[in-house]
Structure 1
């Protein structure tokens, strides 16, 4: 039953949790509970030295839903896939139930996100090189996207893209160098939402992560004819893909 499931949304770098609002509302109308995570690495007073605070914040939301007896579907976008993947350790439904805890994670949904193995980082996934559209501070502690209207929002109107860009905040750059020690997609059923018009993580890279990195782990796939930000340009279709994952 949808009422027994909480869908928790994790944004990517630079983005507030509210970017998921439209998708969450569609799923609430379908009877699901929803929860949005604001990552500590987005616009902090002092930039983080690693992604651990992000991991702990995701875990805090999962534990709260699990302790309430809810099945949890974790939905992550872009960079958010790293702390989400790491956060799964020990919080899947089967493991928690063996400890007498009523709820836990039952499914992961990666929306044009990073699926990488243990020992790897976001920067490592790009061969150890910064992307050309990264604007990195001199102290290597924060970064910001150059031209987000083209990189993230290329299927949106100029007005909507400007509105979305205005919501972005500087992100803690060192989180991009944090290495996974736990690959949650190996232990929990997962779905990947391909975004065909993505200029940030091109579709060829998305498919490589699913078909090569996660080969043999039975990752379901959904496909949207969307940019890197389907939560704004295609919220209804994104919600429907997430609902199918939750019900799979």
Structure 2
């Protein structure tokens, strides 16, 4: 990338139960390399439940829209559940859509880190056939959910000490967000890269591959990065590799 060409802003969206700090090991070196970075805190990740994923969509869009309207290019990075509200938030803000209107700036690349790809009209709970995962601990009123075995599910390739640190930082997640149906498939409107995690216990590799294949059958195109041996949380266990992926897509290079 030319030294005179502004680097795109990297906007990070965490998954369920995780706060923005989960990206610190990736965002800090990117910032040191001259990339503006911003992380969204999702309202669904809180002890106070929300009734739908709409506040999450609004939070992402509130971070994204000012960047785009100031004609900045943005690389959006979403992990796990984070891609579900991010899909909705991107609508109308991709660089392709803005260029068609004679406007500058926009989302130029969308990076999925072992993240959900839900077709239009489908919710995550639909995709799960309305069955809770076996490691869900769902509050009786169906408003909050916690993971039963987060060390094994999220952090299998971290040391015991590091895993314990991140388990302590987890917060409850708003269960009703799983029922929000996708209205917009952003992955069909912007360049995308999917980061596959082969030892993911939250979203098994077979599910990751199936989601990408189904989206590609509908016309989407994904760049592919495979992190052999990675758990669900490569931003904690393999941050250097994610930094390089994000740098490459920011420069318009293939991965």
TM-score using structure 1 length: 0.95
- CA offsets, 1:198-222, max 9 Å, x none? 0000001000011123333221111
Structure 1 gaps of 5+ residues are: none
Separation in 2, partners of 1:106, 1:9? 14
Structure 1 CA distance, aligned partners of 2:114 and 2:31?
22
Q: Is the 8 A contact 1:4 1:69 kept in 2?
A: no
In the alignment, structure 2 segments of 5+ residues that lack a partner are none
Provide the residue aligned with 1:94 in structure 2: 96
Q: Which residue of 2 aligns with 1:138?
A: 140
Matched, 1:31 2:38: no
Deviation at 1:44, TM superposition (A): 4.6
Q: How many pairs are equivalent?
A: 247
Q: Judge conservation of contact 1:3–1:31 (CA < 8 Å) in 2.
A: no
Matched, 1:206 2:236: no
Taking the TM superposition and a 5 Å limit, the aligned residue runs for 1:144-159 are: 144-159=146-161
8 Å Cα contact 2:7-2:34 kept in structure 1 = no
Q: How does 1:237-248 map to 2 (within 5 A)?
A: 237-248=241-252
- The alpha-carbon deviation at position 100 of structure 1 amounts to 5.7
C-alpha distance in structure 2 between counterparts of 1:156 and 1:191, whole Å: 24
Q: Secondary structure at the match of 1:4?
A: coil
Return the alpha-carbon distance in structure 2 between the equivalents of residues 138 and 44 of structure 1. 14
Q: Over the residues paired in the alignment, what is the CA RMSD in angstroms?
A: 1.5
- The CA distance in 1 between the partners of 2:140 and 2:243, in whole Å, is 39
TM-score, scaled relative to structure 2 = 0.92
Task: Give distance in 1, aligned partners of 2:157 and 2:81.
Answer: 20
TM superposition shift of 1:151: 0.2
Q: What is the aligned partner in structure 2 of residue 19 from structure 1?
A: 22
- Structure 1 residues 112 and 232: CA distance shift in structure 2, 3 A: same
Shift in Å at residue 141 of structure 1?
A: 0.4
Please point out which of 118, 121, 124 is paired with 2:120.
118
State the Cα deviation string for residues 2-61 of structure 1 (Å, max 9, x = none): 73300100000000011001101122233221110000111153x111101100111111
In structure 2, distance between residues paired with 1:77 and 1:4: 22
- State how far apart, in whole Å, the 1-side matches of 2:192 and 2:243 are: 16
Matching residue of 1:108? 110
SS of the residue corresponding to residue 210 of structure 1 reads helix
CA contact (8 A) 1:14 1:42 kept: yes
